[in-house]
Amino acid sequence: MTQLLTANPHRRYLLFTHLYFVLAAVLAIVFYRERIQSDSAYYLFHVVDTENFRIEHQRYILAFSQFLPLIGIKLGLGMKAVMMLYSLNPVLWFYLLFLYCVFFLRDKTAGSSIILVSVLGVIHMFFCPMYEIWYGSALLVLVRSHLYHNRIERWYELLLFLGITITILFSHPLLLIPLVYLLLLDGIEKWWLHWKQLLAVMLVFGIWYAIKKLMLSEYETGKFSLLDFSWNKAYQSLSDGSYLWLRLRYIATYYTVPLIMVLITSAFYLMRGMRLRLFLLNAFFWGHILVINITHYHPDFPQSLYYERMYMPLVTIALLPFMYDVFTQVLLGNSFGGILIALAVGWRFWIFIHASPHYSAQLAKTDAVIKAAQKAGGSKFVLSPVLWKLGFEKAEWSFPMETMLYSSFDGPDKVVTIALPEDFTHEQNAQKVNENVLLVRRWDLRPNNGVNPRYFQIEKGPYRQLGSLK
């Protein structure tokens, strides 16, 4: 082992990077049940229910987040195994991209960057591991590697690059910002663009824009309406000095490593006289923060799942110039660089473990109400207001689906669905449900037999109030 660690840098690199993926897989298995909530529960439920991919808003990258559980469903595996595969899916995604970088692009810097993208800027997303912006952010590393090493000259390399680019564009609208940054960064590095490559990229952008304009979903229309400043006055908060200080503390607290990377890279560019790169980096990094804050009023300091997604592009904007300019020139040739990456990854793993008791405690409460419902008999329940106040005030809109997924561990005939009081008050759902109608979520009412009987069997009967855990 000593000879391996000292004599062969490539094998040493592969050993330690693969150790990361092993540890990531272990964490995914340990916390596989804690990772089923909110959108994560929503998409897993629909994949199980339809035995097919669930794609929304043309974000077809979602299929990659559903690949392993869908295989498990097709193989007839039980819910426990399917849920484990769902939790392991992001580990597989990042590992495949790592292999693409290291063995196809022959770029270890990109391989290390994939690992860092999988952990930086992520706390709550670790416990909801299906978000398109997280999957799409990793593809930005491939864009940087293709451009940096000019791996777009051969026709198949160009096709791969364009496929990666359009997948990023359809992953999440906010990923347009770091993508444009990387394209501009490559342009000022080389000071030339081959007309065929430029035309191909422009064609991809045109296709994406045309499809989005024709097929823009109601959800995304609502998000784009945040740019309408005739009604959205969030930008006015930027005139408040205390609010700006709160935002700076927020970035320094939850995006410590990306912020340090921006500061180090900025100093590096300044010392090397790379003023245009310096301007570009800071314009896009701080500009992205500005975009979020002129469209969102965010007075709370604690991190949330929503704002993790909004700020996720900061990771790649900060990481990639640092890795390809500072790291490759200053740290790549010695062991100190590898130690820094290992420390950063270990620190993020500790943060995930430190955050897990919150999710484990919520899961324990969910298990308790499921057992109480199964003991009471029947399939359909609603939490009483009293029980709801005993720790379920922050339960997500996905709670009825979560309870169906967890209770199916005991078999399809033991499935229960438990609604929240607000599910019944929404659009008078209390008058719509009856002994033959199932509330999958407050916007989705179906017949009792309108779900996959292989995993969910709902008994005929009315919704009953669940008043205690006994």
Taking only the tens of pLDDT, the chain with its 470 residues reads 455 555 577 888 999 999 999 999 999 999 999 999 899 999 999 999 999 999 999 999 999 999 999 999 999 999 999 999 999 999 999 999 999 999 999 999 999 999 999 999 999 999 998 899 999 999 999 999 999 999 998 999 999 999 999 999 999 999 999 999 999 999 887 766 666 777 888 999 999 999 998 998 888 888 888 888 889 998 898 888 999 999 999 999 999 999 999 999 999 999 999 999 999 999 999 999 999 999 988 877 678 889 999 999 999 999 999 999 998 877 655 577 788 899 999 999 999 999 999 999 999 999 999 999 999 989 999 999 888 888 888 888 999 999 999 999 999 999 999 999 999 999 999 999 999 999 999 999 999 999 999 999 999 999 999 877 66
Quote the pLDDT of residue 329: 79
Quote the pLDDT of residue 5: 52
User: Of the residues 191, 212, 229, which one is the last residue of a structural domain?
Assistant: 229
Cα atoms in the 13 Å half-sphere on the side-chain side of 279: 6
The two tokens of residue 52 are 């097919």
Render the burial of 443-465: b for 16+ CB within 10 Å, e for the rest. eeeeebeebeeebbbbeeeebee
Structural domain contains residue 176 = yes
Quote the pLDDT of residue 195: 67
Structural domain contains residue 126 = yes
The closest of 103, 101, 137 to 118, measured between CA atoms, is: 137
User: Of the residues 196, 229, 262, which one is the last residue of a structural domain?
Assistant: 229
Compute the Cα dihedral for 17, 19, 20, 22 and give only its sign: positive
Q: What angle do CA 156, 109, 93 make, to 5 degrees?
A: 65
Quote the pLDDT of residue 334: 58
Amino acid at the residue 156: Y
Structural domain contains residue 244 = no
Q: What angle do CA 292, 180, 189 make, to 5 degrees?
A: 130
Strand partners, 465: 382
The two tokens of residue 31 are 């916390």
User: Of the residues 174, 199, 229, which one is the last residue of a structural domain?
Assistant: 229
In this structure, what are the phi and psi dihedrals at residue 423, rounded to the nearest 5 degrees?
-65, -35
In this structure, the dihedral spanned by the alpha carbons of residues 370, 365, 28 and 301, taken in order and rounded to 10 degrees, is 140
Quote the pLDDT of residue 193: 63
Structural domain contains residue 269 = no
Quote the pLDDT of residue 40: 96
Structural domain contains residue 51 = yes
Integer Cα distance of 12 and 412 in angstroms = 48
Integer Cα distance of 123 and 118 in angstroms = 11
What is the count of structural domains for the chain?
A: 2
What pTM was estimated for this model as a whole?
A: 0.94
Q: Structural domain of residue 41, as residue ranges?
A: 2-229
Q: Which long-range contacts (CB under 8 A, 24 or more apart) does 223-232 make?
A: 223/173, 224/173, 226/295, 226/296, 227/295, 229/294, 232/295
Strand partners, 405: none
Q: Which long-range contacts (CB under 8 A, 24 or more apart) does 12-15 make?
A: 13/108, 13/111, 13/338, 14/102
Residues in the chain: 470
The closest of 85, 34, 46, 37 to 456, measured between CA atoms, is: 46
Structural domain contains residue 282 = no
